[in-house]
């Protein structure tokens, strides 16, 4: 029933091509190695008869497929990752014995996974959410996992509240929605009842929670850790990642539209950048405090809802991480990566932060249901690479190591008779816990020093620039307006009044509700000195580096203008993509064809950091009846982006409501004047395009 062609390929009855291997190395086999002759047809009783149970090839293939999925992470299910290196530039030998933090110039392999928290594995990349920032360092002394976020603090003080927090933020239990969104009753119900979450909510409602790119987020270890030196002395430490590209956020309206235009926006951005050799980098920095420094803080260093302002305790940059290689296989690496705060190396230790203490149990435990075996550390992405790992743990599901000999217990004296005795503990170089004094009665307690829930929330809000404050207030209006239970809104507003009266008034006004009574505070908030380091606007220099400029081109357009924009943008470090009404490209004024990277309908301006409209008069006229073109200009303007344009594009700009300002640049005088505004958002424009709280 088949035809054999000259090259060995075979055509089936339906004419379909069955590709054939010409060597044993190239041939398809079953999981157990038996070669296949046909990968198109199952084994049937006659050409139109039933499929036979005997078909072990069909059964194996379907069965493997049926079991392809593993449980997604209960939080941080949606993530993207990359391989890279960490290079230490300054030694912390005075504080720690950890080789990864003391051997200057040493390059340690890393695997870094970024994630959203609330949404499922298939959810969008741009919801309002915290971003996970988890780094696995494959050090010479074992894997060190720094499992942090892009926000330096957390919602809760004690791990016992974590399941409640996550249940509240995830889709509601009966209806199964909303997906990847905090704007709903149960989340705000929990927040209102948990004043300790107020500081984190400020951050989650700020522009930090709607980043433009994973390459442009800061990272924080969040919890307080310890560094322990050769003398056994301990210092407290906070870990920070600082993106070399600076930070950048989206506008909320933009984030919503990106979700539709490209749900994989962040994943694609990270993959593409690394793929083309534009490797994202972060500086690694620490804040180090003695016990006396910690005692002098106006809050408890063990309280994960508090940050340590870098104005009072400056950051010391000690190294750099470069992400330079995409995973070869998403499932094998990104999905199976298991990050564990308990993955720690000698010289680094935990603090008594009650949130961290609970994490120390949770991550190891969750891998058992996610990866299904205590042997998940043998999966290549999780294996210690910088050093051997050896102990007497044995057997279990999916054991891949083949141990030899009899030594599976310790102590043993097998070596005395010439047999291998196996590894032994190293009293000097092995992991030693800091001998922290422990005292007090056993009880379920929250320390009085954890009682101030509002001072730092106030500090954060008051440290922001004016546009950022307005975005935060507007985000609260948006989220609370999605809350259907009035008493929940009232309670949240009652907490907000403890943060900042002006903020509370603006939000109440935006929601259209009376300002309720202030809720009693466990500790009266105090005014702290503002911390400019908490801002996004103006914190890093404006830059086009690593950004994307979209150039919309029509037939008849001037190729010289396109080239000028391209050259200027690329010289400033940006990538440029061409958008045209047709994917085949645009026929330019000089008769040549400019290839397009995108068709207009599939490339709205939300996907770019700045745009240029290089239109001919005729091309512009045609676009006046194309909604996608009008939206392209309107959204670029509304999202505060620079718009370069040929004079011929003016009718489209007018129709899109684009008004003249310093970010709207006529390209007749060359592309250079477009580059400066393209490197930033036009914050001054915002009051013209939206009403903010
Ligand atoms: Fe967590 C995953 C970060 C508190 C329990 N967490 C997870 C990931 C990140 C964080 C980045 C994803 C790792 C990856 O990419 O695979 N989590 C944090 C931070 C916290 C925090 C910065 C506060 C300081 N987490 C926290 C608490 C608990 C957990 C208090 C439980 C008591 N987290 C988990 C988990 C996850 C997890 C359920 C889900 C998947 C996983 O661990 O491997 O165990």
pLDDT digits (tens, 9 = 90+) for 547-583: 999 999 999 999 999 999 999 999 999 999 999 999 9
Cβ of 151 below 6 Å from ligand 1: no
Cβ of 239 below 6 Å from ligand 1: no
162 labelled binding-site residue: yes
pLDDT digits (tens, 9 = 90+) for 95-127: 999 999 999 999 999 999 999 999 999 999 999
DSSP 51: B
Give rounded-to-5 percent helix, strand, coil for the chain.
35, 15, 50
Q: How far is CA 434 from the centre of its chain?
A: 32
Cβ of 637 below 6 Å from ligand 1: no
CA of 75 to the centre of ligand 1 (A): 7
Quick one: which atom of ligand 1 is closest to the CA of 304?
Answer: 24
Matching residue, tokens 């470090």? 573
pLDDT digits (tens, 9 = 90+) for 144-182: 999 999 999 999 999 999 999 999 999 999 999 999 999
370 labelled binding-site residue: yes
pLDDT value at residue 8: 66
363 labelled binding-site residue: yes
| Rounded Cα gap, residues 165 and 171, in angstroms | 12
42 pLDDT tier (thresholds 50, 70, 90) = very high
| Rounded Cα gap, residues 639 and 631, in angstroms | 11
The reply to whether 76 belongs to the active site is yes
pLDDT at residue 4 is higher than 90? no
pLDDT digits (tens, 9 = 90+) for 522-555: 999 999 999 999 999 999 999 999 999 999 999 9
Provide, rounded to the nearest whole percent, the portion of the chain with pLDDT above 70.
Answer: 98
pLDDT at residue 2 is higher than 80? no
Provide, rounded to the nearest whole percent, the portion of the chain with pLDDT above 90.
Answer: 97
The reply to whether 343 belongs to the active site is no
pLDDT value at residue 10: 73
Query: Looking at residues 188-215, what average pLDDT do you find?
Result: 98
Cβ of 148 below 6 Å from ligand 1: yes
> How confident is the prediction for the chain on average, in pLDDT?
96
CA of 292 to the centre of ligand 1 (A): 30
Catalytic residue among 83, 143, 149, 453: 149
Length of the chain: 693
Cβ of 489 below 6 Å from ligand 1: no
pLDDT digits (tens, 9 = 90+) for 362-388: 999 999 999 999 999 999 999 999 999
Global model pTM greater than 0.90: yes
| Rounded Cα gap, residues 37 and 21, in angstroms | 9
- Residue 354: asked if its preceding bond is cis (omega within 30°), the reply is no
pLDDT at residue 1 is higher than 50? no
* Residue 267 parent element (H or E): helix 265-275
CA of 284 to the centre of ligand 1 (A): 21
pLDDT digits (tens, 9 = 90+) for 224-279: 999 999 999 999 999 999 999 999 999 999 999 999 999 999 999 999 999 999 99
Pocket test for ligand 1, best of 73, 155, 361 (most atoms within 8 A of CB): 73
pLDDT value at residue 685: 98
Side-chain-facing half-sphere of 134: CA atoms under 13 Å:
25
113 labelled binding-site residue: yes
Cβ of 366 below 6 Å from ligand 1: yes
Counting other chains too, the contacts that 488-494 makes at CB distance below 8 Å and 24 or more residues apart are 488/185, 488/188, 488/189, 488/192, 489/188, 489/513, 490/516, 491/192, 491/193, 491/519, 492/188, 492/191, 492/192, 494/192, 494/518, 494/519
pLDDT digits (tens, 9 = 90+) for 618-649: 999 999 999 999 999 999 999 999 999 999 99
Q: Go through the domains of the chain in sequence order and give each one's CATH number.
A: 1-68 (4.10.91.20), 79-162+198-382 (2.40.180.10), 456-534 (1.20.1370.20), 548-689 (3.40.50.880)
Q: How far is CA 457 from the centre of its chain?
A: 23
| Rounded Cα gap, residues 355 and 151, in angstroms | 15
CA of 370 to the centre of ligand 1 (A): 13
Task: Single out the residue of 152, 158, 250, 268 nearest to residue 209, CA to CA.
Answer: 250
């Amino acid at each position: 029933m088949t035809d054999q062609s000259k090259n060995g390929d075979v055509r089936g009855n339906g004419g379909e091509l069955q590709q054939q291997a010409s060597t044993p190395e190239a041939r398809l086999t079953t999981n157990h190695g038996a070669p296949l002759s046909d990968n198109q047809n199952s084994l049937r009783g006659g050409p139109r008869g039933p499929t036979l149970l005997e078909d072990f090839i069909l059964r194996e293939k379907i069965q493997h497929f049926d079991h392809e999925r593993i449980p997604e992470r209960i939080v941080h299910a949606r993530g993207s990752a990359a391989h890279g290196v960490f290079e230490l530039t300054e030694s912390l030998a005075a504080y720690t014995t950890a080789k990864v933090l003391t051997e200057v110039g040493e390059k340690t392999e890393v695997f870094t996974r970024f994630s959203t928290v609330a949404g499922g594995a298939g959810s969008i990349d741009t919801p309002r959410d915290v971003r996970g920032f988890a780094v696995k360092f494959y050090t010479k002394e074992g894997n060190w996992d720094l499992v942090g976020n892009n926000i330096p603090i957390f919602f809760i003080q004690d791990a016992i509240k974590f399941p409640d927090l996550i249940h509240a933020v995830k889709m509601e239990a009966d209806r199964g929605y909303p997906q990847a969104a905090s704007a709903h009753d149960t989340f705000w119900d929990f927040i209102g009842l948990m004043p300790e979450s107020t500081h984190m909510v400020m951050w989650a409602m700020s522009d930090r929670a709607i980043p433009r790119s994973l390459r442009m987020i800061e990272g924080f270890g969040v919890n307080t850790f310890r560094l322990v030196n050769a003398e056994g002395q301990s210092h407290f430490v906070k870990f920070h990642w600082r993106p070399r590209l600076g930070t950048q956020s989206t506008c909320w309206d933009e984030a919503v539209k990106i979700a539709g235009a490209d749900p994989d926006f962040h994943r694609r951005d990270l993959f593409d950048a690394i793929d083309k050799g534009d490797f994202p980098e972060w500086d690694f920095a620490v804040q180090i405090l003695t016990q006396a420094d910690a005692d002098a803080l106006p809050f408890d260093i063990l309280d994960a809802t508090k940050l340590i302002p870098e104005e009072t305790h400056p950051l010391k940059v000690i190294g750099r991480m470069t992400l330079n290689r995409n995973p070869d296989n998403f499932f094998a690496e990104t999905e199976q990566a298991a990050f564990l705060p308990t993955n720690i190396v000698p010289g680094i230790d935990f603090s008594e932060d009650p949130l961290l203490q609970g994490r120390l149990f949770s991550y190891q435990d969750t891998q058992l249901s996610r990866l299904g075996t205590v042997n998940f550390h043998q999966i290549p992405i999780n294996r210690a690479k910088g050093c051997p790992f050896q102990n007497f743990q044995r057997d279990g599901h999916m054991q891949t190591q083949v141990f030899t000999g009899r030594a599976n217990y310790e102590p043993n004296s097998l070596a005395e008779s010439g047999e291998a005795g196996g590894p032994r503990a190293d009293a000097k170089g092995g992991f030693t816990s800091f001998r922290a004094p422990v005292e007090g009665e056993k009880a379920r307690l929250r320390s009085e020093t954890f009682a101030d829930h509002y001072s730092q929330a106030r500090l954060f809000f008051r440290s922001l620039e004016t546009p950022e404050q307005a975005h935060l207030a507007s985000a609260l209006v948006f989220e609370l307006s999605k809350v259907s239970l009035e008493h929940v809104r009232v309670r949240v507003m009652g907490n907000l009044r403890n943060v900042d009266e002006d903020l509370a008034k603006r939000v109440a006004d935006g929601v259209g509700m009376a300002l309720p009574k202030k809720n009693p505070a466990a500790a009266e908030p105090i005014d702290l000195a503002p911390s400019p380091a908490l801002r996004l606007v103006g914190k890093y220099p404006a830059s086009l580096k690593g950004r994307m400029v979209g150039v919309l081109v029509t037939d008849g357009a001037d190729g010289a203008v396109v080239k000028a924009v391209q050259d200027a943008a690329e010289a400033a470090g940006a990538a440029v993509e061409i958008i045209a009404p047709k994917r085949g490209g645009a026929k330019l004024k000089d008769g040549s064809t400019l290839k397009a990277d995108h068709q207009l309908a599939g490339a709205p301006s939300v996907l770019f950091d700045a745009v240029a409209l290089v239109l001919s008069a005729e091309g512009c006229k045609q676009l006046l009846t194309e909604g996608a073109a009008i939206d392209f200009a309107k959204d670029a303007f509304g999202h505060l982006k620079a718009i370069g344009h040929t004079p011929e594009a003016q009718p489209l700009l007018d129709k899109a409501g684009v008004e003249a300002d310093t970010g709207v640049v006529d390209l007749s005088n060359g592309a250079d004047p477009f580059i400066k505004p393209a490197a930033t958002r036009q914050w001054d424009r915002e009051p013209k395009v939206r009403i903010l709280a």
